[in-house]
Chains A and B, each alone.
Chain A
Amino acid sequence: MLLLACLSPVIAAFLPLLGSPTERVTEALGLLSTPRLWGLWLKSCTIAVGTVGVATLIGAPLGYALHLLAGTRRSILPALLAAPLFLPPHIMAVAWIDVLGPQGLLAAWGITPFSLYTPTGVVLVQALSWYPVPLFTVWLHLRQQDPQLQDAARTLAPLRAVFWHITVPLLRPAIATSALIVSLLSLLSFSVPSLLQVPVFTVEIFSSFNSLLDHRQAVLLALPLLTTGLCVAALLLRYLPTVSQQPILRTSPPLARRTMARAYGAALATLTLGLPTVALLRRIETPHALWSAAQTGFHEIGTSLLLSGLGATVLLLLTLPLALSRTRPNQAFFVPLAMAYLVSGPVLGVGLIACWNHAGPLGYIYDRFPILLIAVTARYALFGWLGVLLVVRWLPAEIPEAARCFGATRSQIFWRITLPLIRRPLAALWMGLFLLIMGELECIVLVAPPGWVPVSLRIFTLMHYGPTAMVSALALLQGLASLLLLCLLGGLIRQNRVYTPGESRYHSYS
């Protein structure tokens, strides 16, 4: 089902390229030999590399800092640091324009650090939107490491040597995973570069669709990004964690390190959450604007929440059995799933129309909400699959194996052992997918049926007049609605938890 959802629109989108091979190759070579095009490609790649670098530099140390704080006491810091994920990057871009732009908050105080309307600005805005990806990847990865490794090393070597020779190598898979995710997000990003007036490769694809209405050219233009994305992904996939981790015995770090970690986290949360929120609130001006947005955007926010919730659930339901099979051919799913994302949203949207807009049952689906669900499933299957692969690595292989030896059935093992063991990372993954879908724009703009418009789409269409009070209010409401729902879910998970930090995972089976 997953392959069908992902591959069928991709194939349908590429069908117009069929025909005389010689003609097509000549056409492709003619198009792709333009130096200007490769200049744009280089700019896209440079921005992606920069975004990965800055996001990792901000997020990875924060993940380490959060790890140091884990087990000390409950903190809202992780939730605050995840805040940039609650708003789509183009809204964050608008907020950052209000902070760092020529007429922004800082300019009003006489501080003009640099122009936001440059590739550097795009890198900064994207990195500040996506740094939670390396943050949480590193944090979750470190939670699975045995601190005794580092403690033992520290008896033999100074702290710096332990950090570089033990901690950093241990973190490599987590950093590679987050780099993969951020680089793919950045390569395909259109809205932030567009708002900051930086032409990138995706602008070329979008203008082929929108200005020239030349779909064949747009599909051909998708090929360089598709190839680049696949190469990057193939490279980074080698570093994905491949071994199950050992049970954790937590030790509390020294007070000074915990204090430093808390201060660093709090400072960054203030910077990345506080400033954009102030900027958005400044635009809203009166509570009436917020109330008015809530009234007019109620249906769209509901659609978004429903779509994101169902989409994340469907993605987990489809990818979890794949990952649990733990078979090598599992890796073979990477290419088709990656293609569905890397062909870019509009190409996927056109493919979805070609696949589903037919008389009969297909048309019934196309005219209704499920087409949105299919669209987000196809677009984000890659991230669901990558996430589930990571989650499954949390599962110590010997426990289900032992249960199997004692005669437990597959169903018993899944419901009573596997699911309780991975429920927390799985919930975290569900939340990540939920937020990703909340921000989806490029694909659903082509397939959203009448009456089912997600709030991200409404915000973007309302942005014709620039970021008005209504846009800011809707953006804040979208963020708040996501936050509330995820807090509710977090509460439920915590309420039903099986293990507490420091507990051995084995006690239930002894």
Chain B
Amino acid sequence: MIRAVSKSILILALGVMTSCGGSSKDSVVVYTALDEIYSRPILDAFTADTGIAVKAVYDTEAAKTTGLVTRLLNETGRPRCDVFWNNEVAQTILLKDRGALAPYAPTASKAIPDAFKDPEAYWTGFAARARVIIYNTERVTSPPTSIQDFIRPEYKGQCAVALPLFGTTATHAAALFAAWGETDTMHFFQQLVDNDVAFVAGNGVVRDAVARGEYAFGLTDTDDANGAVVDGFPVAWLLPDQDELGTLLIPNTVALIKHGPNPEGAKQLIEYLLSPDVEKRLAESRSIQIPLNPAVTAPKSVPVISDIHTMSPSFPEIAAQMETSATRLRALLVR
């Protein structure tokens, strides 16, 4: 019996060793940071439409182990990825700066506003999320409307924010560095610490903590916040700082990998991802991603981009602050 099992394992092992691997003419390898539950159906639809198989490596912004960006940077000598579909923008810009991306101006990008695409065509944005305040309706009657409210003494110990070293919270922190300057931003974060704001493992944790009533409110993304609403938790959300500072919008970005194995297939996938149909599907999903293409009509629950007062720093300005922000905040918060 043991011998039979051993033989089976050996045959299986040999099969696996010679199994199909990376990209080929009939397939495209995509590294995607958008949550699998949203990205997988879209990639499957692309395969159904074009006959090109998609091999995806998924990641999320909450995967605080080194993620796809680290992987892409280390694979620049011999990329096995064709397309990078990021769920945010700052790290895509870092990849461009480090020479991991190739320029490609998709036809479909013409409809996207200039602020959401790279002037040199290294990346294109679509389907954005907003940074929002989520609050527990059983604990808060008059919710805060600004992130500055997080430092008000009456809210001491009642707010939660993800550790601003990873994911969209890191981008948000860098945006504050770009908007306010280093000194004022560090002062703000010091006040958050003094006000016993909880710095938790990720935006999903913020969502859960507020939904369960452990904290009265917190800062998270529209997709997390809407998920809690859809699940029936006693929560609501709002766009913060609509008077002065503005709300940070973070688009998905798609980029062609330099020297990727299947550039033609990659370009087809990029065109597909930027199509109005994909933006519409993402807007209609539970993640209610905000369409950037004005031609796309979204459900009423999705904010309209023209109605949102957004933060003023450009994405390259925000990306330029990422390193300073991470270094300073790590020294303050990781101890």
User: What is the interface of chain A, defined by CB distance below 8 A to chain B?
Assistant: 36, 39-40, 102-103, 190, 194-195, 197, 199, 203-204, 206-207, 209-213, 215, 306, 309-310, 313, 345-346, 349-350, 353-354, 357-359, 363-364, 366-370, 441-442, 445-451, 453, 458, 460-466, 492, 495-496
Contacts and interface: CB of A to CB of B under 8 A. Distances in A.
B65 A357 contact: no
Contacts of A213: 69-70, 73, 91, 94, 98
B17 A466 contact: no
Interface of B: 1-2, 5, 9, 12-13, 16-23, 29, 35-37, 55-67, 69-71, 73-75, 77-78, 80, 91, 94, 98, 165-166, 170, 198-205, 207-208, 212-214, 224, 227, 322-323, 326-327, 330-331, 333-335
A308 to B, nearest CB: 12
Given A206-B65, A346-B66, A367-B21, 9 more contacts: A194-B201, A350-B70, A353-B71, A368-B21, A442-B65, A449-B22, A450-B56, A461-B58, A464-B35
B58 A453 contact: yes
Contact of A463 (B22, B62, B74, B333): B62
- Identify which of A199, A204, A495 gathers the most chain B CB atoms within 10 Å of its CB: A199
Given A36-B331, A102-B214, A465-B207, A310 B66 contact: no
B334 A204 contact: yes
A445 B66 CA distance: 7
Report whether over half of chain A's contact residues are helix, strand or loop; otherwise say mixed. helix
Given A36-B335, A357-B74, A369-B19, A207 B80 contact: no
Nearest to A495: B1
A195 B78 contact: no
B64 A461 contact: no
Given A353-B71, A445-B67, A463-B62, A210 B165 contact: yes
B17 A492 contact: no
A350 B56 CA distance: 20
Contacts of B59: 445, 461
A466 B70 contact: no
Contacts of A190: 64-65
Nearest to B203: A464
A492 to B, nearest CB: 6
A187 B234 CA distance: 40
Contacts of A354: 74
B78 to A, nearest CB: 5
- Identify which of A370, A441, A458 gathers the most chain B CB atoms within 10 Å of its CB: A370
Contact of B63 (A40, A199, A460, A496): A460
Contact of B66 (A197, A210, A358): A210
Contacts of B12: 306
**9 closest residue pairs by CB, A with B:** A367-B21, A450-B55, A211-B326, A367-B22, A464-B60, A368-B21, A209-B66, A466-B208, A464-B62
